[in-house]
Structure 1
Amino acid sequence: MYKKLSNIFSQYSGLSKSAYVIFFAKMITNMGAFIWPLLTLILKRKIGYSASTIAIISLVIGIIYLPATVLGGKLADKYDRKKIIIIFDSISVIFFISCAFVKPSNLMTALFVIAGLFATMEGPAFEALIADATKPQERDKAYSLSYLGHNLGFIIGGAIGGLLFEKYLSLAFIIDGLTTLSSTILIILFVNVLNVDDLTDNEKNEYEDHASNDVSSFDILKERKSILIQLLVFMLAAFIYNQFSFTLPLYMETIFSDKGAQYFGLLSSFNGLIVILFTPVMTHILEKLDELPKIIIGLLLYSLSFLIIRNTVIYWVFFVMMFVFTIGEIINTLGASPYISRRVPASHRGRINSYSNIVYFIGGIAGRITMGWVIDTFSYTTAFTILAGIGIVSTIIAYLNYKLDKKIFPKLYEKKIIL
């Protein structure tokens, strides 16, 4: 038993220094990440929007964010990625903290949207920097550790956020902004980009070699079609996953009334706890499995989780649902996070990452709009059934793309377990 536990945790030893810095930065950020998980309830309870109106607001935000994401990706490939991160993050923090000094209103919503806009523009640079700072063969473990840090902070932030929601919402905005700023400073000071020339031949991945400046990101996608198809899968996955912060809290508020926010906060912390306990375990168990099979398994568990609460009003059943959902989240993340980084030239990471962010936005927004309409027109039972169906469809697409991906990137599948 001791040897097995030792193997689980020792798998994170020997990574690049930057991987550990990113871990701590993620943890600090999410210790203060109170607002994003509670955004739906802020819009509904504090400002008074209906489910359909919240979905429309999400649509407008998405439309605004799409060009910002593309611009952020282009800037990340053209300029120093660290500078991009510190400039956009600083602006985001200023607007975010300013939300603490206004009452819940349309103005607060506008300030929050602006803060999110600059955070969105920073996103492609940050994702590209993680790949730039880690070796190709350690990418699985580096992303796993980053994800673990994200949730170590989130387990604390989720519970505190639920408690601050009713009377101390302003304090939540301030703490969230300051923790984001502190983690950004850590990344700027201590995360270093690896020099490809210093890597051995066994450590290099030819699919990450820089492409010519004349080659556009669209040319890359046309040549490597499985990436394009996988972006569709990411969009469908985002459609489902986004309901964790939309349909689920609305459903819990409908069932549990005024205690809905508190119960959802505790459930969010449970999500973080499961991630902390099982991310190292699943990383170790599935380390020989390719990215796409992991994504397939994760999507199937997503589908099953929403069927579990399809007709329930019993609180403990939500924890069963969340356990299944979170295991699916872990496995899906272990596959999705390193997928793009290993198949895209380093010179185009920012732009391709921006496309990835775009499809996540589209999937999330489409999910909110669709589920908002379904909830208002039909019922939560219908909504959960639709989510399960979309999960099955996305699983089939991912499986077919797995076969194509092996033909396009054969060297990535050498010495791997093939399903």
Structure 2
Amino acid sequence: MSYLHNGRVKMRSSKEKIMPVIQNYIGLPKEIYILFISKIINSLGRFIGPLLTLILTKKIGMSSTEAGALITIAMALQAPCVLIGGKLADTAGRKKVICFFFGLSALTFLSCTFMPVTKLLAYTLILGACFSSFSGSAYDAMVTDYTEVHNRQAAFSLLYMGTNVGSAIAPVVGGLLFKKHLKILFLGDAITTFIAVILIILLVQEHESVRKRQKQIDEQNEAVRQNVFEVLRETPILIIVALILSLYNFVYEQFGFGIPLGMDSVFGDRGAELFGLVSSINALIVIFFTPFLVHITKNMKVKNVLAVGGLCYAGCFMVMAISRHLYGYMVGIVLLTIGEILGAVNAAAFVANHAKATHLGRINSVVSLIRDAGYCISPIVVGSMLKWITIQQSFLVMGAIAAAGAMMMFALKDDMSGSI
């Protein structure tokens, strides 16, 4: 493409031709791109999670009550794994934690290929999930190590997209193979995890700052050995944000619980079919609109972006509370997904920007536990509420909770650094 300048034709540089949206992802550290590719590969084989309930009930023969109890126990078991993983990420190193525990997870799923379909298989699958949960905080910490404030949001959004690209495909493939080729799913999960680990082993080095901190730990440096809860007391804004995000997650969990019930009450027998349609809209928006949202919000304060995400959640459930048409639910899902993207990309960046570098892995794990508590209690609480109110009235409650969380997020002061 060319333009006139002083009577002469000049060619635009290749950089000028690139859309500003794409420029956000150019020039990131090489390690971020490797982690992005490994996320895609690993999530492409994430067959087990979405199908776990069906594996427990349809293949192993558990009742829905028994399966639900086992999944709840599995979630509870992962909590200490997340905390220990965060501690190890700070002391042993991010790369070691990621590769070791993902490797154990892959070996566990590989062993399932040779097992009979019994309860032992179920327990082994849960063990594999626990091994995987050790690595979450290490991943976030490694992204933080290789980025700075100006490119951190783009890096986290890139990995978020990588996860969603694979996760959009894996359930479809898993659904096709579930009935007659269950063991192939275990093998596929193991192989993709091994490939992702090998990429990290060969192409990603531990960041120099982590190696220096490990040396400090060896020298019994007191600041490095400070308790994570003492560190969090010095940065109360992280606890407050984690609690607000827990409210957001309490509301968002209704995507899989309340919204299907709401669509069933409005559309009857077509409810499940139409819920599948709006779920597809969610996946498409995540994959294709994340770069645009990152570009639009890159100059905003992270806390304000998180607040806007909460307002999107509120708008979603307010629309669904009064809508009796599919278009209303589609608008609601669009708002919900925008809020999801803004939260997923910016929550990790906010923690990284405010956390003490020596305790980043542990802080990530504690914040993650607080934040995810909202997911865990939401179905139980809302299920109890539905004994007294309608599903549409519960949507109004969800909207009010999200709006309150957004107002609290807007009201936060950036200089909240005093101890609590």
Q: TM-score range by the shorter chain?
A: 0.7 to 0.9
Whichever residue aligns with residue 126 of structure 2, its letter is V
Equivalence for 1:306: 317
Cα gap change, 1:108/1:252 in structure 2, threshold over 3 Å: closer, same or farther? farther
Distance 2:327 2:180 in 1: 27
Matches within 5 A, 1:37-116: 37-39=50-52, 49-50=63-64, 56-99=69-112, 106-116=119-129
- Work out which of the residue numbers 311, 325, 339 in structure 1 matches 2:336: 325
Aligned 1:5-404 pairs, distance under 5 A = 6-39=19-52, 49-50=63-64, 56-99=69-112, 106-165=119-178, 168-195=181-208, 212-248=223-259, 260=272, 267-310=278-321, 318-374=329-385, 379-400=390-411, 402-403=412-413
Count of equivalent residues: 392
CA deviations 1:48-107 (Å, max 9, x no partner) are: 655x76665454333322222211111111113212212211222233345566677654
Q: Which residue of 1 aligns with 2:9?
A: none
If asked which structure has higher relative contact order (CA below 8 Å, sep 6+), I would say 1
- Cα distance in structure 2, aligned partners of 1:41 and 1:312: 32
**Is the contact made by 1:96 and 1:115 (CA closer than 8 Å) also made in structure 2?**
yes
RMSD of the TM alignment (CA)?
A: 3.4
Give 1:299 shift: 1.3
Structure 1 alignment gaps of length 5 or more: 198-209, 410-419
The alignment partner of 2:19 has SS state of helix
Give the direction of change, closer, same or farther, for the CA distance of 1:214–1:100 in structure 2 (3 Å limit). closer
Structure of higher CA gyration radius:
2
1:408 correspondence with 2:407: no
1:90–1:374: structure 2 CA closer, same or farther, 3 Å change rule? farther
The whole-number CA distance in structure 2 between the counterparts of 1:170 and 1:309 is 40
Aligned partner of 1:226: which letter? Answer: I
Is the CA contact 1:155–1:271 (under 8 Å) kept in the aligned structure 2? no
Residue 26 to residue 273, structure 1, CA distance change in 2 (3 Å): same
Q: 1:129 to 1:310 in 2, by over 3 A?
A: same
Deviation of 1:282 (Å): 0.9
Q: Is the 8 A contact 1:234 1:356 kept in 2?
A: no
Task: Please give the secondary structure, in 2, of the residue aligned with 1:212.
Answer: coil
Distance 2:274 2:55 in 1: 15
What letter is aligned with 1:18?
E
Q: Tell me by how many angstroms 1:6 deviates.
A: 1.1
- TM-score norm. by structure 1 comes to 0.81
2:19 maps to amino acid: S
> Residue type matched to 1:227 in 2?
L
Alpha carbons of structure 1 residues 37 and 16: separation in structure 2 relative to 1, 3 Å: same
User: How many angstroms does 1:321 deviate by?
Assistant: 2.9
Cα distance, 1:194 vs structure 2: 3.7
Render the CA deviation track for 1:184-209: whole Å, top value 9, x for unaligned: 22223222344359xxxxxxxxxxxx
Q: CA deviation at 1:236?
A: 1.7
Relative distance call for 1:388 and 1:167 in structure 2 (3 A) is farther
